[in-house]
Amino acid sequence: AQTQTTGWLAANAQTRMDTLLAGNYSSTVLNGVLSPNDTLGRAIITSIKAAGKATPVMPVVTGQDSEAASIPLIMSGEQYSTINKDTTKLVAQAVAMVKELAAGKKATTNSDATDNGSVKVPTYYLPPELVTKDNAAKSYASNPTLLALVNK
């Protein structure tokens, strides 16, 4: 069975979801869809609505990447969640590591080095954050653009 969306394209995700709903869920309740990112999640939501599967309760649909277009859907309950990887924290950690290396020190890490096929790269993983309607304001407190969408 196919388990991916070709090219990660929204149109392909919507077509695939249309096919899955028609072939497997015509008389079955759809409880949720684990979407690999927000773009595909929005396409899946469009398909769910078109198939009449958004009632009586919208199925749980996830996403990832905290795309601005998904924030209103999360706040309205159409998309359950996204994943926020705060780029300000990513940049701050990368800069700190570069400064350590430039000073001739060993970079601070919190994991084994990642082998990229050429060298072992010092690795510091930052935790991703699950964002729902309930914690969106807190999660996006340092991002005025996304926070404005939460408070809209």
pLDDT over 90 (residue 90): yes
pTM tops 0.85: yes
Q: What is the pLDDT of residues 95-104, one digit of tens each?
A: 999 999 999 9
Cα 86 from Cα 71, distance rounded (Å):
15
Check residue 80 and give its pLDDT.
98
Q: What is the pLDDT of residues 14-54, one digit of tens each?
A: 999 999 999 999 899 999 999 999 999 999 999 999 999 99
What are the chain's domains? 6-85+128-150 (3.40.50.2300), 87-121 (no CATH)
| Average pLDDT along the chain | 95
Cα 42 from Cα 79, distance rounded (Å):
8
Task: Tell which residue, 47, 60, 49, 39, has the closest CA to residue 14.
Answer: 47
The pLDDT confidence band at residue 2, using thresholds 50, 70 and 90, is low
